[in-house]
Amino acid sequence: MKRILILMAMFLLCAAAVSAAICTETDNGRDYSDKGSAKYAITEKYDICVISPQADVRQDSSQYLKEYYCKEDEMKYEIIDCVREGFETCEFGECVGGSAGADSNYTGPSIVIPKCGNQVVDEGEDCDPMNKICFDDDGNIGLCDENCQCAIKIKRGEDEEEPEENITEEPEEEEVEEVEEEPEEEVIEEEPEEEEKKSL
């Protein structure tokens, strides 16, 4: 009986842990002027400055901020252009300076820079992933390039030839005289007679 109670208590504790938020963050959402972090289960990611939206390389100071946040109990991130948001630059994981820097809780409109290669067609992308066949709105066929744009390779109707309107007369067939062939005579060859074998 004691074992059953212990097992039930452990089950209830596990159920409570599972129902708790899996994703948590320190800066209460997307706060670009505050270096924060987001934690999903045991994985924690800190806001960092990156060299460019396409190259996810960490820098102490740059123009772009990689902001981690939680949404629908999942860890997500977006690359923010601090200058476009009214800041001067990104330093050590937060946007600083400029007119927006005066408000320490600035969370103005974000510009989500698409992440080409994440196998999701984000805003600003025609296709994703790279090097896959894609189609435009006109039905043309292309190949997804390194910027996740559909580079058209075959235009619709390019290979189709339109039928000619002028109908040309077909040449008349030449008359061929029929010649009767004479049947070939069959030649029968006689087999040479076998010589009688002499007995010893």
pLDDT, tens digit, for every residue of 49-60? 999 888 778 888
Report the alpha-carbon distance of residue 69 to residue 83 in Å, rounded: 20
- 184 or 198, which is more confident? 184
Report the alpha-carbon distance of residue 2 to residue 128 in Å, rounded: 57
Q: Which uninterrupted H or E stretch holds 9?
A: helix 2-19
Main-chain dihedrals φ then ψ at residue 186, nearest 5 degrees: -85, 135
Task: Indicate the pTM of the whole model.
Answer: 0.44
Q: Per-residue confidence at 104, pLDDT binned at 50, 70, 90? A: very low
The tokens describing 138, both together, are 């006109």
- For residue range 143-166, list pLDDT tens digits in order: 888 888 889 989 887 555 544 555
- For residue range 169-186, list pLDDT tens digits in order: 555 555 555 556 666 666
Report the alpha-carbon distance of residue 89 to residue 92 in Å, rounded: 10
* Average model confidence (pLDDT) across the chain: 74
List strands edge to edge, sheet with 48-50: 58-59, 48-50, 64-71, 74-81
80 contacts 96 by C-beta, under 8 angstroms: no
Q: How confident is the model at residue 103, as a pLDDT?
A: 47
95 contacts 27 by C-beta, under 8 angstroms: no
Find the length of the chain: 200
What average pLDDT does the segment 108-116 reach?
53
